[in-house]
Amino acid sequence: MNIALLRPEVQQFIKEFEGDVSQLAFKGSPWEEIPLKELIQQIESYTKCKDKLPTWYNCHNIIYPPKLHIEQTSSEITALYKASIVKGKGLADITGGFGVDSYFFSEKFTTVHHFEENDYLSEIAAHNFKQLEKTNVSFFATDGIEGIRNQKYDVIYADPSRRHASKGKVFFLSDCEPNLVDHQEFLLELCEILLVKTSPMLDISMGLNELKNVSEIHIIAVNNEVKELLWILSKSISEEILIKTINFSKTEKEEFQFYFDSENREHYETPLTYLYEPNAAIMKAGGFSKICDAFPVYKLAQHSHLFTSDALIDFPGRVFKITSVIPYQKSEMKNFAKSKANVSTRNFPETVAQIKKKWNINDGGNKYLFFTTLQNGDKVVLDTEKL
């Protein structure tokens, strides 16, 4: 760690820099003992923390890692949530990284052990925690799997990273480091709860094939974008797996839960007064099949994942008022030529791009058009207004 970065004039420069950092490439670093690459790293990562990690952004003398680590780390809102679903006296974070999750775990646990085999990340995390006045976290610059041997914890937390990039969206936990598939039995011998964070790209069914003793899966979305999946594993085998979905927005938190593979009822109806689109966390969880059990709504079709009702209800997702139901026919679609609308498709043979080009529809405006197929096979356009 370059302690020259902590000098007041350097810290001021980093925090007050405005404009394109590429400008520095021509001017060079103002300080001989601070390489240009390192200075740019601090500026870029500091800027990225403004909204994602305000606790670090607003603290003095923080040292930042390359911006890729900031992009990949948990946000404060998801880290806070993780800390709220586990409890105990001792926790081990075996993939400590920049330390965001460890920080919030430390507010719930008496002691936290932060393991990070990257010496630089471990060093700056330890430094930053001193600035943040966290004294109950110990730092170990070593492999987490090896570091916890002969230890006992209430909770072990792991955020495995993919060992190599894949062009496709399918990947397996066994492709990640550490390989939790091979080590899960060993880890569960050392703790009561094993909490695993994975990318939203991981298919839930595939995860369940690889992980044993899963009792709960939490799907976390922020502003309707799924950010991470949390898997709770325990020593005992659960008869039912609880799925919890959470969508954080600026003003509220939408929550919905159900049991995986439990029976559900689906009642179908033609479009009524209101249209409901489940939030991204529910869609990721496959929870749309449980909506009719939880809310007084009807499904438009088996594969549409859109719901309708005559009475307006509080719903975990987007809500629209249906102004008209239009048959998908050339004679009807001419009315939309050169108009502005927000176009969506559900269970429809054409893509959004194809529809906009075919019927000359421009993005924007207050009109929301849903192109979908009803249970009887009719293709329709739902002309709606967002509530």
In Å, what is the CA distance from 45 to each residue of 49, 67, 181, 185, 384? Answer: 6, 5, 33, 37, 41
Give the pLDDT confidence of 234-281 residue by residue, as tens digits.
Answer: 988 778 899 999 999 988 899 999 988 766 677 899 999 999 999 999
**Does residue 25 register a pLDDT over 80?**
no
SS3 3: helix
**Does residue 373 register a pLDDT over 60?**
yes
Give the pLDDT confidence of 49-71 residue by residue, as tens digits.
Answer: 999 999 999 999 999 999 889 99
Which of the four CATH numbers 3.30.1330.10, 3.90.870.10, 3.40.50.150, 3.20.20.80 does domain 73-259 have? 3.40.50.150
> Which residues are CB-neighbours of 190 under 8 A, at least 6 positions away?
92, 148, 151, 152, 153, 156
In Å, what is the CA distance from 101 to each residue of 32, 228, 231, 247, 255? Answer: 35, 13, 15, 19, 22
Share of the chain above pLDDT 90, in %: 72
**DSSP 8-state code for residue 341:** -
Please give the model's pTM, rounded to 2 decimal places: 0.90
Could you give the CA distance from residue 387 to residue 385 in angstroms, rounded to a whole number?
6
Give the pLDDT confidence of 295-325 residue by residue, as tens digits.
Answer: 999 999 988 999 999 999 999 999 999 999 9
**Domain positions in the chain:** 3-70, 73-259, 274-386
> Which residues are CB-neighbours of 171 under 8 A, at least 6 positions away?
162, 201, 202
Helices 8-16 and 36-52: crossing angle in degrees, nearest 10, is 60
